[in-house]
Amino acid sequence: MTETQKDRPWLIRTYAGHSTAEKSNELYRNNLAKGQTGLSVAFDLPTQTGYDSDHILARGEVGKVGVPVCHLGDMRMLFRDIPLEQMNTSMTINATAPWLLALYIAVAEEQGADVSNLQGTVQNDLIKEYLSRGTYICPPKPSLKMIGDVAEYCYKNVPKWNPMNVCSYHLQEAGATPEQELAFALATAIAVLDELKPRIPDEDFATVCGRISFFVNAGIRFVTEMCKMRAFVDLWDEILAERYGIDDPKMRRFRYGVQVNSLGLTEQQPENNVYRILIEMLAVTLSKKARARAVQLPAWNEALGLPRPWDQQWSMRMQQILAYETDLLEFGDLFDGNPAVDAKVEALKEGARAELANIDSMGGAIGAIEYMKARLVDSNAERLNKIEREETIVVGVNKWQHGEPSPLMGEDGGIMTVDPAVEEDQKARLDAWRSEREAEAVKSALTALRKAAQAGENVVPASIDCAKAGVTTGEWAGEMRAVHGEFRGPTGVSRAASNKTEGLEDLRAAVDAVSDKLGKRMRFLVGKPGLDGHSNGAEQIAFRARDCGMEIDYEGIRLTPEQIVTAAQQGAHVVGLSILSGSHIPLVEDLMNKMRDAGLGNIPVIVGGIIPDEDAARLTAMGVARVYTPKDFELNTIMKDIVTLVDPKSVAAE
């Protein structure tokens, strides 16, 4: 391939957004100046789950894992001085995707853009939210209908926009095997296309299929991951040709963006993560046939907390060096005809087809949500077991733990922290917005939105009218909740012990002994306060505690401190809290005060999450008995701690 034929690089993105729209706008403009070629917006958890920044559940979560966008003013500020008609913008948003797209379109119109030229993606994949990430609002069927609304609206009005990004990324983060990641993602895409088929004229259906994109994960087993991407290409082509009769090979092309694995990033020796990220990027760039259209990489320190701008720049430079300094883009596919690759691709396809047939027999992805969730929890348990048994080596974690302290950490602890004052500032701006808007216009727009939802009409046009009238995120989502109701997804953790109790005999005996002293079965309440829906850690703790013989109470995500205290009053002997969003200080403080007020101050509380040492000391000072972070990967050690905390003899000795 000559220099003139060299392939164009993929879109180079950085997943970014924090604190406020103003600070995030500054970050985006700086990243664009450094050579980033597409925007990737991270929204905070209240925005993702349809709450305004002043809602009780938003406490401690505002601006932590992304940018808060409560209304048109926030969206306007987020993209100030960034011409949207020239951008390719990815928005990681799901339950509130129709709303955030409406705000984006409204801002583009204010800028004078031709909306039909807008390019980008809304993730808009609710099915994986029930399985792994937890930012759903409504039940599956109306959620699927809203995914269809966005796709139908975009096909007619914003034809260059990808209206849905089938997201297998979070499936792998929840422990999916490659075969499960392939099958569960493709089953989701099938569910969406089946929803769209009756809405779209036959002659246009191929075009709509061609706009469905994917957002994929690449783990450290990079040969397998590269083969997985080739399997995705083949299976998607096969499904579109055979199930939907799409003749045009261009419309059957598997188009995907990627963020490489965050699950495998380690808190121990975090500088090792740079190599992991680079190797994982190769899985989605080396094979031309299955090369990503857009790549965003985590930063080396994401297992510690929020990356600083320099950390994100370092990851972006990794992409630029591969794309512009190496000769990778000068060659055709490096793996065509390789017998080892072909055999692995075929094996992955065979496994995925079997799983797809299984899901199809349950009525498709919507009918199989509980099954898929349970499979993911089981696969993740097996992944952790292998690390604990050293069948899987993780450098610096279960092997070669001794190392030199990292000079990268610096005085700031190697991460950026969000100023707690951000939340109050955001709430003040929200109050001002509400007081300055035209109340009647808001009321009228919300009434029209509710009527559209009740009548089964497409909600996007009414959502755009709401955006222009000054409606807030919480008000928009409130109408969806009012019409469709709320949903609590399956936890994937049953009360019956699994078949993974081998090697737990001593722990089971200790739980039995403590239960005998207590006069009842030892009871462990696992709670997730706040809006953080990343439940993998909580699920695995509950899974192991159950297999050790404890009675577990685990109702899933998004609980208020009041709900956790009420549950604790039902006879809990120990309370475990899991918070990965960085909101641990305000949420735990609130819960500890409420526990004492309810006369439950004697029940030990343990906390797990991405928690810096300084914060761990603050939690201990509040009365928290133990603090666990990602470095505490040996679940049996945590189980021993829990038994000791509950043992009446140990308590008496203290």
Buried b (16+ CB within 10 A) or exposed e, 185-199: bbbbbbbbbbbbeee
Residue 91: is it exposed, middle or buried by C-beta count within 10 angstroms (0-12/13-18/19+)? Answer: buried
Instruction: Give the per-residue pLDDT at 494.
Output: 84
332 backbone dihedrals φ, ψ, rounded to 5°: -75, -165
Segments in 455-568 forming alpha helices (H): 460-469, 473-484, 505-518, 536-547, 561-568
Rounded average pLDDT over 345-361: 98
> Domain boundaries in the chain?
89-104+118-389, 422-484, 504-646
CA 309, 315, 318, 319 torsion: positive or negative? negative
> Is 654's pLDDT higher than 70?
no
pLDDT for residue 649 is more than 80:
no
Average pLDDT rounded to a whole number, residues 623-631: 95
pLDDT of residue 382: 95
List C-alpha distances in Å: 106 to 79, 161, 415: 12, 15, 35
Q: Are 168 and 214 in contact (CB under 8 A)?
A: yes
Of 156, 143, 287, 317, which Cα lies nearest the Cα of 223? Answer: 287
Question: What is the distance between the alpha carbons of residues 326 and 155, in angstroms, rounded to a whole number?
Answer: 38
In the numeric block, the tokens 């019409």 are attached to 483
Is pLDDT of 652 > 50? no
Q: Which two three-digit tokens encode residue 646? A: 């509950």
Per 3-state DSSP, what percentage of the chain is helix, strand, and coil (rounded to 5)? Answer: 55, 10, 35
- Count of C-beta atoms within a 10 Å radius of residue 207: 15
Check whether domain 89-104+118-389 has CATH 3.20.20.240, yes or no = yes
Contact criterion met (CB below 8 Å) for 94 and 126: yes
Pairing of strands 38-42, 164-167: unpaired
Residue type at 430?
A: L
CB 387 within 8 A of CB 394: yes
pLDDT at 417: 79
pLDDT tier for residue 277 given thresholds of 50, 70 and 90: very high
Q: How far apart are CA 302 and CA 276, in angstroms?
A: 13
Residue type at position 607: V
Task: Write down the CATH superfamily of domain 504-646.
Answer: Cobalamin-binding domain (3.40.50.280)
Nearest 5 degrees, angle CA 174-CA 14-CA 25? 120
Q: What is the pLDDT of residue 106?
A: 98
Cβ–Cβ < 8 Å for 194, 309: no
Catalytic positions, written as ranges: 15, 169-170, 528, 532, 534
The answer to whether 306 and 416 are in contact (CB under 8 A) is: yes
- List the single range of 309-313, 337-341, 417-421 with lowest mean pLDDT: 417-421
pLDDT in tens, 53-80: 999 899 989 998 899 999 999 999 999 9
Does the pLDDT value for residue 1 go beyond 60?
A: no
Q: pLDDT band for position 197 (50/70/90)?
A: very high
pLDDT, tens digit, 9 for 90 and up, residues 90-141 = 999 999 999 999 999 999 999 999 999 999 999 999 999 999 989 999 999 9
Q: Taking 80 as the threshold, does the pLDDT of residue 29 lie above it? A: yes
3-class SS of residue 159: coil
pLDDT tens per residue, range 291-301: 999 999 999 99
Q: What is the mean pLDDT of residues 585-593?
A: 95
Q: Is the pLDDT of residue 489 over 90?
A: no
Measured in degrees and rounded to the nearest 5, phi and psi for residue 114 equal -85, 110
pLDDT of residue 650: 63
Q: Interior CA angle at 159 toward 155 and 164, to 5°?
A: 65
pLDDT for the residue 598:
97
Exposure string of 344-357, with b = 16+ CB inside 10 Å and e = fewer, is bbeebbebbbebbe
Question: With 0-12 CB in 10 A as exposed, 13-18 as middle and 19+ as buried, what is 39?
Answer: buried
pLDDT at residue 501 in the model: 83
Report the run of H or E that residue 121 belongs to, with start and end. Answer: strand 119-122
What are residue 121's phi and psi, to 5 degrees?
-150, 135
Task: In whole angstroms, give the CA distance from residue 68 to residue 50.
Answer: 11
Distance between CA atoms of residues 287 and 294, nearest Å: 14
Q: What is the pLDDT of residue 492?
A: 86
- Report the alpha-carbon distance of residue 222 to residue 491 in Å, rounded: 30
Encoded amino acid at 593, one letter: N
pLDDT averaged over the chain? 94
Q: Span 238-257, mean pLDDT?
A: 97
CA 188 distance to own-chain centroid: 16
What residue has token string 């727009």?
A: 445
pLDDT of 137-163, one tens digit each?
999 999 999 999 999 999 999 999 999
